[in-house]
A and B are shown apart, each in its own frame.
Chain A
Amino acid sequence: MTTETVLIIGAGQAGAEAAWRLRELGHEGAVILAGAESHAPYERPPLSKKFLSGTGDTARLQLRKPTAYTEAGIDLLTGTAVRDLDTEAGTATTANGARIDFDHCILALGATPRHLPQSVPGGRAARVLRDLDDAAELRETLQAGRRLVVIGGGYLGMEVAATARGRDVAVSVVEAAPAIMNRGVSQQTAAFFHAAHEARCVAVKTGVAVASIRPGKGGDLLTLDSGEELEAGIVIAAIGVAPNTALAAAAGIDCDDGILVDGNCRTSVPGVYAIGDCAAQLVPSSGRRLRLESVQGAVTHARLAAAAITGTDPPPERAPYFWTEQYSYRLQMAGLADPSRPCEDLLRGSPEDGSFTVYRFQDDVLAAVEAVNNPVDFVRSQGRIGQSRETFE
């Protein structure tokens, strides 16, 4: 079989999965997995939850122990950022000036947290949470009695808020949109989590934005556009991420809010693939272009690219799924409602008892499912995405 070299740039969950998948599919050539971070590939989801709570240990975050890569014939290069890609010559140049030759290249470049815009004076005072080093630093600062302001009420922001409350940190959340977790969930689910946070003394402020941050008495003083002022010992901005496309764009690969890829994760340049958070994939069944920021997206993309490189059958398409954990509540979501069209939501179960499922229909077809502490229901419902509403009556 092939003895061609595959260079994977980016050693997050997508990159690591691609490396292992290539080996499982029988790829015999070299597999080089180059990541800028100093750590071997690890899981990111616990960074805002178990790890941040103070109980998670770094070794358990690792996807594989470092020597397992060597044993599997994967060249794991940590601390290796790639600064230049020449797709025609098939070479990459690292930040140290080393040259790596490849036959196929998988871009698993990830994403970078957005900072507050320049128009917010002092906005750079807000820290971000993306990688293990960020989480380790934040974990040290989350001491009981301190005050944390979370800017951004998305999944990450609300997870950090919940974890911080678990450590007796006083927490406020500032979300510019009218509701928390605004991007993806039903009104019922958002309201449930909003109430859960308020019941645990989190000040959840929606529909307001941060106007400025300046040094205050015990840390920072935030002024909101409503005029309200908030004191904070710690400020974190969790306002989304931007896909890392610079390396690809400079190499002439088509990008537009992500590296554009087809259903098999191929970019516009033959032999170059993009996977995970950096990739904007054209999903064959729906014709929609999606940039998923999820573990399942990362793993699925990795398998598609590995299948394409080894000439094996691609894995079947599956509805995307996500999850978040806040306090004792686990929300699982599958499918994606089209945000440009209205949803008709069907609630089953009881939010008062902390366990329910929301079925989201668009045009009388099940588009998405959300389940809070209702995992069995969730599992059963996953397979029903795409089914007609009649089957639910």
Chain B
Amino acid sequence: MPRATFILSDGDRRTIDIPAGWSLMEGARQEGIPGIVAECGGGALCSTCHVHVAPEWHETTGPASDLEEALLGLAPGADEHSRLSCQIEMTEAYDGLTVTVPETQATG
């Protein structure tokens, strides 16, 4: 099962197993990773599962889609490494993926 590491806003690191085929967001939510709100449940409808992908993983995960880009426009602190974690589907190729959880998500 691929593992992913979340660097939390307080600097803590949490490494979790995520079943292949699940999204990074689903894995984070199941484990109660703080800061991943995922209000819409993973349909790319909101921006509340925003993460910063570690630069060395950027090539593997690829860039955000146009829709993601538009949604990330609503996310505080989004940058060129930003992705919506619901749009990253975990496979063995992503084993070791590291992302940073932003301090705040967009939700009101």
Contacts and interface: CB of A to CB of B under 8 A. Distances in A.
Contacts of B46: 296, 321
A300 B29 contact: no
Contacts of A376: 66-67, 70
Interface string A311-341: 0000111100101010000101000000000
B107 interface: yes
B31 A68 contact: yes
A62 B30 CA distance: 7
B32 A379 contact: no
Sorted nearest first, the 6 A-B pairs with minimum C-beta distance are A318-B108, A68-B32, A379-B70, A376-B70, A65-B30, A315-B108
Interface of B: 22, 26, 29-32, 34-35, 37, 39-41, 43-46, 66-67, 70-71, 73-74, 107-108
A20 B105 CA distance: 15
B39 A317 contact: no
Contacts of A303: 107-108
A300 B108 contact: yes
Contacts, number: 67
Interface of A: 20, 23-24, 43, 45-46, 60, 62-65, 68-69, 71-72, 295-296, 299-300, 303, 315-318, 321, 323, 325, 330, 332, 375-376, 379-380, 382-383
Nearest to A318: B108
Given A316-B108, A375-B67, A380-B70, A330 B43 contact: yes
A90 to B, nearest CB: 28
A296 B41 CA distance: 11
A296 B29 contact: no
Nearest to A63: B29
16 contacts: A20-B32, A24-B35, A60-B22, A63-B29, A64-B30, A65-B30, A295-B40, A299-B39, A300-B108, A303-B108, A315-B107, A321-B46, A323-B43, A375-B67, A376-B66, A376-B67
A230 to B, nearest CB: 33
Contacts of B30: 62, 64-65, 68
Nearest to A66: B30
Nearest to A24: B34
Contacts of B37: 299
Contacts of A72: 32
A325 B43 CA distance: 10
